[in-house]
């Protein structure tokens, strides 16, 4: 059997050599079809990896709670009466964090995030940056690695110790050539002792803009208790808040400080925290826990919905699904080229059968059976498909590299995409080569020998 296949392959190669240009033009559809499918699958795989990378940046299994700062525009009639109708809300606070930990069973970790823009100073070097108040769970929730030093201890958090963990770029700019652990850096008005350094995290401008995240490499992290005690606590009402520049409204023993009475300024953010990050034990519970969190916080905030709850994984899964559908459509369109190539193979093979009636008659006259004739023409069609498939794989890799370089889109060529494309090319060779081979085998050898 192997010898018979080898013999038919030699006949197929000889037939292709006699008509090189025709065989090449016939295989063009397969070449471009396979190349296009590989390129489209490479774009799809790259998009999927990008979404997974974004999910890692936002943290897996996370639910994010953010305060909503009320915006006031223009003058309102009977403004005092409208203010009195408002309900008091304490805003997003550490007490909310404690309640979440105590009430919800499927919560693994909860971390606050308090962000203040300030100055970093050391050895006559200064730059602006962000001081971020967190707890010791924050780094695990967000998939940060501490490459030098350690995380905050319970004693440091409880005692509001003046310590910090610095981003990788902060180390490079302020502690070049030296070990920063145990050394101090001035953050705002306070000197903080460095206890840890974060591993560098690669962030693209696209990720920073699309996900609304910061460049963590330039941040300094300190315990939230330290930030609230030693820097600023927006939940506290100060003498400045009670001055004439602010409108202060009393509700049942509570105090709510609203924006400037002149309408020209004033910080209306009364939330103690800028963000709460909740990590759930299983992504299946993310949506249901988000609903429970919404009801619980609404009750704690006196029915004032001054917060929003975001489920990043759900958003990213929707984005991934959209990209997957888009890539399936593109791959389907590219697959049309394969079908057109198969039709081209069938057309040329039918013409080849007519041209080679005499050859068919001679082979059948000397003892070749119908299945031998079928195998001969089927092998020829498969040879054209295999050659086109190999050239298409090379073209697909070239396409993928060119798309990545020109369009700045991540493309990943996988063995699976090559296997699928090449397999489809072989299938098309068999399907569209079978009919011409069958027609060739059905020829009457007497009529075939008399054909000129």
Q: Which residues of the chain have pLDDT under 70?
A: 1-2, 4-5, 7-8, 48, 50-60, 69-86, 203-213, 237-268, 283, 313-320, 322-323, 326-327, 330-331, 334, 354, 357, 443-452
Distance CA 44, CA 409 (A): 10
pLDDT of residue 254: 38
pLDDT of residue 264: 40
pLDDT of residue 73: 46
pLDDT of residue 75: 46
C-alpha to C-alpha distances, 72 to 102, 258, 261, 262, 321, nearest whole angstrom: 35, 10, 11, 12, 38
Enter the tokens of residue 95. Answer: 């007490």
Say which residues have a Cβ less than 8 Å from residue 318's Cβ, sequence separation at least 6: none
Cross-strand pairs, 230: none
Burial 182-201 (b: 16+ CB within 10 A, else e): eeebebbebebebbbbbeeb
pLDDT of residue 175: 92
Enter the tokens of residue 264. Answer: 């020209």
pLDDT of residue 387: 86
pLDDT of residue 194: 95
The length of the chain in residues reads 452
Say which residues have a Cβ less than 8 Å from residue 443's Cβ, sequence separation at least 6: 353, 357, 360, 361, 364, 373
């Amino acid at each position: 059997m192997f010898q018979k296949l080898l013999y038919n392959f030699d006949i197929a190669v000889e037939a292709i050599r006699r008509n090189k240009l025709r065989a090449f033009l016939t295989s063009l559809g397969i070449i471009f079809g396979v190349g296009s499918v590989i390129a489209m699958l490479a774009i799809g795989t790259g998009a999927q990896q990008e979404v997974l990378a974004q999910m890692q940046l936002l943290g897996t299994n996370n639910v994010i709670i953010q305060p909503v700062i009320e915006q006031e525009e223009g003058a309102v009639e009977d403004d005092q009466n409208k203010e009195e109708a408002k309900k008091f809300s304490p805003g997003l606070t550490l007490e909310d964090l404690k309640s979440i930990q105590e009430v919800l069973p499927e919560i693994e970790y909860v971390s606050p995030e308090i962000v203040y823009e300030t100055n970093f100073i050391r050895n006559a070097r200064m730059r602006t940056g962000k001081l971020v108040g967190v707890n010791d769970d924050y780094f695990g929730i967000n998939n940060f690695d501490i490459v030098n030093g350690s995380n905050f201890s319970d004693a440091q958090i409880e005692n509001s110790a003046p310590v910090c963990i610095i981003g990788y770029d902060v180390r490079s700019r302020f502690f070049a050539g030296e070990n920063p652990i145990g050394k101090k850096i001035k953050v705002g008005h306070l000197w903080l002792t460095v206890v840890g350094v974060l591993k560098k995290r690669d962030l693209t401008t696209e990720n920073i803009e699309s996900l609304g995240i910061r460049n963590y490499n330039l941040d300094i992290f300190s315990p939230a208790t330290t930030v609230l005690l030693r820097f600023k606590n927006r939940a506290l009402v100060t003498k400045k808040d009670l001055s004439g520049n602010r409108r202060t409204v009393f509700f049942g023993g509570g105090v709510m400080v609203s924006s400037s009475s002149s309408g020209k300024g004033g910080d209306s953010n009364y939330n103690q925290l800028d963000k709460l990050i909740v990590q759930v034990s299983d992504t299946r519970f993310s949506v249901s826990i988000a609903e429970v969190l919404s009801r619980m916080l609404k009750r704690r905030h006196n029915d004032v919905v001054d917060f929003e709850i975001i489920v990043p994984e759900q958003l990213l899964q929707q984005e991934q699904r959209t990209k997957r559908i888009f890539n399936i459509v593109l791959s389907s369109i590219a697959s049309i080229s394969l079908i057109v190539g198969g039709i081209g193979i069938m057309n040329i093979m039918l013409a080849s059968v007519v041209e080679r009636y005499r050859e068919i008659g001679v082979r059948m006259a000397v003892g070749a059976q119908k299945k031998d004739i079928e195998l001969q023409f089927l092998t020829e069609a498969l040879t054209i498909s295999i050659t086109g498939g190999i050239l298409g794989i090379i073209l697909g890799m070239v396409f993928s590299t060119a798309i990545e370089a020109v369009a700045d889109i991540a493309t990943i060529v996988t063995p699976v995409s090559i296997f699928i494309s090449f397999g489809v090319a072989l299938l098309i060779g068999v399907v569209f080569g079978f009919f011409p081979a069958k027609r060739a085998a059905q020829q009457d050898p007497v009529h075939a020998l008399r054909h000129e």
